[in-house]
A = this chain, B = another copy of it.
């Protein structure tokens, strides 16, 4: 099942401009949790007129509409994830990569007097690949 960016944007009443479609498609096809600048660097060759501001605007728009989610692990970098389902992240302190972690539904917190709108879980450590390299 290949998702249709144009359709899904229209469904949220967002005009499917070329830039928006490509940004969304890129977030769907990568699992690297890119930063806004990563996305700009990746798409700039293909869309020469693309501006960083458009990338930032678009990401903010998408997040507001729950089409993507932002992943904040370091205070100086905002990463983006095309998968909005609740899942955890693992940041490797060696290679700096951010990996997805399946998180079961064991999350029943006693926050009965609060309204929980978002749940974020992440770990920091050494990923399997880097661990192997260390022998």
Contacts and interface: CB of A to CB of B under 8 A. Distances in A.
One complex includes copies of this chain to the number of 2
Contacts of A118: 123-125
Interface stretch (A8-16, A39-47, A108-116): A108-116
Contacts of A65: none
A119 B123 contact: yes
A4 interface: no
A17 interface: no
Interface of A: 70, 72-78, 88, 90, 92-93, 101, 103, 106, 109, 111, 113-128, 131
Closest 3 CB pairs of A and B: A113-B128, A118-B124, A117-B125
